[in-house]
């Protein structure tokens, strides 16, 4: 499941957290973002997918402009 790409998957949430300049908090929404309970990640592959997407997003410097 860690390789699946869907709205709410670990990499989607990692990139979203980076976009909004949030503190990293590995999680997913198995049925789609905000369509089910938020699940804290425990699977190392999913955590790695989240962390990679988060790191890439932070490194890009492309974040939501709150102004």
Tokens of 9: 């998957």
State residue 53 phi and psi, 5-degree precision: -65, -40
Domain that holds residue 50: 10-60
**Does any domain span residue 35?**
yes
**Does any domain span residue 67?**
no
Q: pLDDT-derived band of residue 5, with 50, 70 and 90 as boundaries?
A: confident
Three-state SS annotation for the chain: CCCCCCCCCHHHHHHHHHHCCCCCCCEECCCCCCCCCCEECCCHHHHHHHHHHHHHHHHHCCCCCCC
**Does any domain span residue 53?**
yes
| pLDDT tens-digit map of 33-55 | 999 999 999 999 999 999 999 99
Domain count, the chain: 1
């Amino acid at each position: 499941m860690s390789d699946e790409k869907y709205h709410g998957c670990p990499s989607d949430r990692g990139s979203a957290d980076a976009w909004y300049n949030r503190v990293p908090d590995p999680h997913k929404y198995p049925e789609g973002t905000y369509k089910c309970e938020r699940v804290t990640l425990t699977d190392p592959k999913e955590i790695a997918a989240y962390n990679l997407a988060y790191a890439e997003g932070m490194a890009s410097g492309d974040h939501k402009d709150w102004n």
